[in-house]
Amino acid sequence: MEITKLSPQGQVIIPQSLREAHQWKVVKNLLLLIWVMEFF
């Protein structure tokens, strides 16, 4: 599992191996969907 980080400048850092696996290039926009699961 890869970890995505947030830089001090507020940029989302996507690991290179993940970008290469999906052939993602540098883009201006990225739609980010976050799935949160909470257990009570």
Structure confidence by residue, pLDDT tens digits, 15-34? 888 888 888 887 767 677 67
What is the rounded CA–CA span in Å between residue 2 and residue 21? Answer: 12
pLDDT band at 40 (very low <50, low <70, confident <90, very high): low
Alpha helices per DSSP H over the chain: 16-21
Domain boundaries, the chain: 1-40
Buried b (16+ CB within 10 A) or exposed e, 5-33: eeeeeeeeeeeeeeeeeeeeeeeeeeeee
pTM for the structure as a whole: 0.53
